[in-house]
């Protein structure tokens, strides 16, 4: 795979290594968004079919990206917290059930579970990162597996950690969760799109993705997969489109209380959003064309030299086998002044994030090795 910067409108004066914060917009996605925006100036051009056609295309494309055969297992959601709320409200918790989460995982995949302690009497079991450098990611994965017990009702984790890219072996975790009958709910916002994920292989109960990061879509729309254990659940809202027969506008006066099958029942109201839905759909089309495995390899190729240099200068970065290549944390040595580092990067117009104790670097196909060389120069 070669550099794809020409497909974006990134400012040539900056070095953007911050895709985990928000992706830049593809020119093709921007073009579709502008065309969709102007279409509503003439609403007679929006037909009844338009309320459903783009939704189906988006679901089909996301299903292909994550290797799902049935697009009706895909729901359109406005945010990760919405998808998590669907899972929370449809898992039959009892007092004493345990929910396993990771230390410092993203708040939208924590607050709703934490609230269940007071509401249901469940127990939140937080698995912390080991205070070691050698083998940190491997030991964290082992701790996570050991935390799953017959009392575990749900494992709610990311595919890779949002702060530093630590990878979690979701295939092993799924096998362990199946042994105890626990639900596996994965927040894949920081992975799907740039890191391969196969629902057919992993078989999570839910996979929830915000759309504006690695899916390269607009802010305010996401997608989620819900497996068989959720196919007869209760949606957060009863909007008109998630009921059987909603395609027939003239018959909407005759209420049909039967919900649509599988995950379609969980679609957010106004999910046919005539601007955001086709934009996210186009972004996923491009990702499918590139293929996440190629994106991951490209990121590995352009970052390997920089990572080696930084390690030689005393920075800690997780070993390759236990972190993603599109998102990784750089931990400064104790003698480094983080505020000086921030100021120097800002002065050189190098955009990264700071999460916890890590400098979070998240390149993509619009970056090249020279961008990483510039980062190294600033840090050393």
Render pLDDT for 48-96 as a digit per residue (tens, 0 to 9): 999 999 999 999 999 999 999 999 999 999 999 999 999 999 999 999 9
User: Which conformational region is residue 64 in: left (phi greater than 0), alpha (psi within -120 to 50 degrees), or beta?
Assistant: alpha
In this prediction the pTM is 0.95
Position 219 scores a pLDDT of 97
Residue given tokens 């890590």 in the structure block? 358
Position 244 scores a pLDDT of 96
Residues shown for the chain? 380
165 close to 191: Cβ distance less than 8 angstroms: no
160 close to 174: Cβ distance less than 8 angstroms: no
Position 218 scores a pLDDT of 97
Closest CA relative to residue 208, chosen from 84, 89, 68, 22 = 84
Position 158 scores a pLDDT of 98
What is the SS3 assignment for 112?
helix
Low-confidence ranges of the chain (pLDDT < 70): none
Between CA 292 and CA 217 the distance in angstroms is 15
Kindly list the distances between the CA atom of residue 147 and the CA atoms of 101, 156, 183, 187, 267, in Å, as whole numbers in the listed order. Answer: 10, 12, 14, 19, 33
Question: If you classify domain 43-289 with CATH, what class do you get?
Answer: alpha beta
Ranges of each domain in the chain: 5-25+292-379, 43-289
Residue 259 burial (CB < 10 Å; 0-12/13-18/19+)?
middle
Closest CA relative to residue 241, chosen from 270, 263, 261 = 270
CATH number assigned to the domain covering 5-25+292-379: 3.90.1150.10
Between CA 375 and CA 14 the distance in angstroms is 12
Kindly list the distances between the CA atom of residue 210 and the CA atoms of 3, 79, 82, 158, in Å, as whole numbers in the listed order. Answer: 25, 6, 10, 12
* List of residues 6+ apart from 220 with CB closer than 8 A: 78, 79, 211, 212, 276
* List of residues 6+ apart from 76 with CB closer than 8 A: 55, 58, 59, 221, 222, 223, 267, 268, 271, 277
Between CA 68 and CA 139 the distance in angstroms is 31
Position 338 scores a pLDDT of 85
Position 144 scores a pLDDT of 98
Q: How far is CA 141 from the centre of its chain?
A: 19
């Amino acid at each position: 795979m070669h550099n794809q910067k020409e497909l974006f409108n990134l400012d040539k004066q900056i070095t953007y290594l911050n895709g985990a914060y928000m992706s830049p917009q593809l020119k093709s996605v921007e073009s579709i968004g502008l065309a969709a925006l102007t279409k509503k100036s003439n609403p007679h051009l929006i037909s009844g079919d338009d309320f459903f056609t783009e939704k189906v295309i988006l679901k089909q494309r996301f299903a292909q990206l994550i290797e799902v055969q049935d697009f009706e297992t895909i729901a359109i959601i406005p945010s990760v917290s919405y998808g998590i709320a669907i899972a929370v409200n449809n898992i039959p918790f009892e007092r004493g059930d345990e929910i396993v989460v990771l230390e410092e995982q993203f708040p939208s995949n924590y607050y709703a579970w934490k609230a269940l302690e007071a509401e249901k009497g469940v127990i939140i079991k937080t698995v912390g990162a080991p205070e070691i450098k050698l083998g940190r990611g491997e030991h964290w994965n082992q701790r996570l597996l050991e935390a799953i017990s017959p009392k575990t009702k749900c494992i709610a984790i990311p595919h890779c950690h949002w702060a530093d890219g630590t990878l979690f072996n979701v295939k092993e975790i799924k096998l362990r969760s199946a042994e105890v009958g626990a639900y596996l709910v994965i927040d894949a916002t920081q992975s799907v799109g740039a890191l391969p994920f196969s629902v057919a292989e992993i078989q999570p109960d839910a996979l929830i993705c915000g759309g504006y990061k690695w899916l390269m879509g607009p802010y305010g729309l996401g997608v989620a997969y819900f497996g068989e254990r959720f196919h007869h659940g209760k949606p957060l809202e009863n909007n008109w489109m998630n009921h059987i027969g909603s395609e027939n506008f003239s018959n909407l006066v005759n209420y049909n209380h039967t919900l649509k099958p599988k995950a379609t029942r969980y679609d957010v109201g106004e999910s046919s959003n005539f601007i955001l839905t086709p934009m996210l759909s186009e972004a996923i089309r491009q990702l499918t064309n590139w293929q996440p495995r190629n994106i991951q390899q490209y990121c590995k190729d352009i970052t390997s030299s920089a990572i080696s240099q930084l390690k030689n200068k005393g920075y800690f970065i997780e070993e390759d086998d236990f972190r993603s290549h599109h998102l990784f944390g750089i931990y400064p040595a104790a003698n480094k002044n983080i505020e000086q580092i921030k100021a120097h990067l800002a002065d050189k117009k190098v955009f990264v994030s700071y999460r916890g104790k890590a400098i979070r670097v998240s390149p993509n196909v619009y970056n090249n090795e020279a961008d990483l060389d510039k980062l190294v120069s600033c840090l050393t």
